[in-house]
Structure 1
């Protein structure tokens, strides 16, 4: 197989909120004992910054591929960059170099036959090597809070390891999705408990699940759009602003869904919204005005501008699905019952979208969306708890 550089984000944590072990075929690589001093960092101040994806690509083509071509000419593999880290998304900066960053990638094999052998091979042949000024060696550091991270280090001894993670494709899917490839399509419960950040067979959601999630986003907007105004009318501008921020996040997530783009976790949400969606750059200044507004009336004015654009985008993206002779998605604000508030009526839009779902099982689901739509606790999205949440959708 040819070597590929993937920019798929498999996890949007950077390894600081969750204890993870860097394993090859179940064997733990070199780990520092808790309480030991921090490993030496590479002297990055004197090394020009290079985006992590580019560094990993150079690492593969300049150092690793020649070794494989020479000693394993018949080996079939895919080389890619998967996993944690801002570099996976292309959002890394100078600051990113202080942990879990450096020349590394995943080597995916057809079977397990060569995993241990290759690990030993790379340990031997990559020692003392560097690429673009960066060492090929890493050391694991356990911080005071118990979190562990890999640090790129100039050290070259038994406590260091290379950054190539070797596994089969099957091991990869089991490790990240707890899903056995080759055993059939993911179930409905699988789809709705896969965090958005770890998916792509998976290129995107099946149509009916996509519609379900879009409908759930509009449902969320419909549930709170008038509350922002009512809180402000009751002289609670802080409460109104908090509700507005929740609605802004729903607008952003809905934009990602409509454009079928990956939606990262909180730290990179705004960056990805601006850089990775077609409509994010035009919506961003409007949403910023919502947050800067001093009164609920001003807040209402700007957020309805965003709603109206999003309603038009919904019409556009679903034009091949929704029969315009039977359904009309409202794209202009209207008064909320008899109260002096103006809304887009997200609930009505949601009803139209839900009516397009053909799968009876999906139509009967509660209108809450996937787990990462109604839960934003990092620990709750770890695989152990996430798998238990499948019962919600059964």
Structure 2
């Protein structure tokens, strides 16, 4: 009978590996990539869940925004300002920023994005706001790592999380301090790519592999003539492309749709020690090995009793009542059968053998680690 591992998943790759994939699924064009954008902004319109008077830079940012809009803010509007000026007045309660929160705004600028197109943006609180639900992000500049402004974001937030508290009780579902604005940013600047400015188009494979790179080079040369492509290293192929941009686009499109048989990846065993998930690739092999895995159990039981000496009929005894703890310690070692791996056994043999001894995920991880340490596991062991 085969026992299933608790919280353990084995991905079995027994299908035929010699299946062709498109070049576009195995590679990416060098220089054609996404870029990360980030900005700082304010979310307004919150229902009393903002930063309040606890975050000084929220008030300072609001002053800056109002000043840019031509609003003259006369007098302190934050607790920080009141203490700086030595002012203490109840009028301050009218200016608490309950409805405003400082946030960080992020977005991903895809390759070839043009001005006027929109981006989805993510918004997350950085102060003490308890929820961004119902808020609106006011105009926020999104910059790249070069400091240039590439997009402007603004709009109402979509927040999936919710938090409700009353009478000392609190219920929270999801994360109410982070939200999203679909299409909330407008692109203002285009990112130039080297796609049309180089004699060659470089294809980078998603995973470095000499076999895959060689196969891509071969299939391109077979279809477009010898010398069209050449391998640079284990992850790059240089292709001589037309200089006319329209012809180059068509040329790369045809290359991307070519089918190629990739090389089989290295034998790997990936173990997630937190979740107990184990992934074993199809090519994993084990040399001749005998394995046993025992489990030592220590049980300690204590019985508390009271010692009551005989006090005599008239109560004249000199005995003293004291508590007594009696401990019973037993050690049990669970018997585990030994199983033997024959030379060159495959994944199914490994799974069946380990299942037969009823190993838990933690035990399986220990077995795999021991096999690797002994040199019997012919695979790369990765623990995450």
Q: Per residue, is there more helix in 1 or in 2?
A: 1
Is the pair's TM-score, using the shorter chain for normalization, greater than 0.5?
no
Q: What is the TM-score with the length of structure 1 in the denominator?
A: 0.21
Q: Which has the higher strand share?
A: 2
Higher Cα Rg, which structure: 2
TM-score calculated relative to the size of structure 2: 0.21
